[in-house]
Amino acid sequence: MAESNVLERGIEAARAATAADNAGDYDKALDMYLTAVKFLLHVVKYGPESQREPIKRRVEGYLGRAEQIKQARNAGDKPKAKIEAPPPEDLENFDLRAELEKRVGMDDVKRKLLAFEHGQILDARRRELSREVKAAPFPHCLFKGPPGSGKTSMARLVAKSLAKLGVLETGHLIEVQRSDLVAGHIGQTAIKTRAVIDKAKGGVLFVDECYRLAGRGDNDFGPEAIDELMAAMEAGDPIIIFAGYDDIHMDDFVKSNPGLFRRIQYVFTFTNYSPRELAQILLLKIDTHGFKLAPPLDKNPDSIAALLVNHTTQDQRHRMNGGLCDALLRHAKTHLDARLTVDSNVDALLTYTPDDLIRACADLPTPPPLDAGPPPPTRR
């Protein structure tokens, strides 16, 4: 049997196992997990060297989940819900460079992410060729930048990339903030934080607005959460990405505990989108949803950028970033719907006019005041 056919059958069985698992059909899930393992182990043993390590990690994950199901079934219990992870076929076909090319702007972040992935690939190859090579430090990261600048979506790409390379078992991402980690009484924060860490094992723990964990006085339990996170960073599972504004607060967070500075290996700085980049994002979103723009805005990011500059404030653009495009389209659709009837033709039903966008800009909220600190970096 051709190796490619064996791999395809393994992926098909894994996909069926995941679907059955998510649907609660645990008997079928167990059977399909074991079928997937049978085919994928054949690839681990006889397939190309480049495939062996990542597939081996997937096999370990499937075996672990199968064992959980068996133990729960033998005890007469219902298995705990499976952590949602990228489907195996998604990981098999995942290409970080291709995914980054679909995203607007962020050139510096893209270059650093590709270099980051390249380093992980080389480390995996070193370990494959020499048993004397020790495992590289776990790639914990710091994402600095304003809201709406793509930090969470980039974290998901990192998780997928590391899962494909075999660094992560599943590649799922758990996103948390201070309230998900910190409790109100002594000792409870450690328990709460450890539960979150356990849920994220095998994937990425994304701690947004991480600077809010820095101490706020003697009765603040944020530092207790940081201690637990640092212990998990040392163990290496899950990989942790800290995220927040690129201002003095992030520097204060890293300084709040000397261990953080030593454990964070990579820092990525995200910037505000320029008006033209916001225009490109808006065009992509309109096209994705099956709509279009009327002339002279259709396929003209420069004209859309001029409209945004003239009808939104710099504070709105910088504080909302990519989120501004989602808000604009929600409001624009309200104005589009208000001037149409059910008898309108399909072209009218699916076409935003310049006036729809201008009115939508007027509907955008005024951002509340920011905490003290310098404004985030931007590009013209």
Q: For residues 309 and 165, what is the distance between their CA atoms, to the nearest angstrom?
A: 43
Domain 92-269 in CATH: superfamily?
A: P-loop containing nucleotide triphosphate hydrolases (3.40.50.300)
Q: For residues 62 and 54, what is the distance between their CA atoms, to the nearest angstrom?
A: 13
Decide: 143 and 156 in contact? Cβ < 8 Å: no
Decide: 117 and 96 in contact? Cβ < 8 Å: yes
pLDDT at residue 69, as a whole number: 84
pTM of the entire predicted model: 0.70
The residues pairing with 352 across neighbouring beta strands, listed in sequence order, are 293
275-363 CATH choice from 3.30.420, 1.10.8, 1.10.150, 3.40.50: 1.10.8
CATH class entry, domain 3-82? mainly alpha
Decide: 195 and 227 in contact? Cβ < 8 Å: no
CA quadruple 318, 319, 322, 323: dihedral, nearest 10: -150
pLDDT at residue 215, as a whole number: 66
Longest alpha-carbon distance in the chain: 73
pLDDT tens for the chain, 380 residues long, are 455 677 888 888 888 887 777 667 788 888 888 998 888 888 888 777 766 777 777 787 788 788 888 877 776 666 655 555 555 556 677 888 999 998 998 899 999 999 988 988 888 788 778 777 776 667 899 999 888 888 998 999 988 888 888 788 788 888 998 888 988 777 788 889 998 898 888 889 999 988 888 866 666 788 888 889 998 888 888 899 999 887 777 888 888 777 888 888 888 999 899 999 999 999 999 998 899 999 888 888 999 999 999 999 999 998 899 989 999 999 999 999 999 988 899 999 999 999 999 999 999 988 877 554 444 444 44
Domain boundaries, the chain: 3-82, 92-269, 275-363
The answer to whether the 3-82 and 275-363 domains have the same CATH topology is no
Decide: 99 and 90 in contact? Cβ < 8 Å: no
Q: Is 191 exposed, middle or buried (0-12, 13-18, 19+ CB in 10 A)?
A: exposed
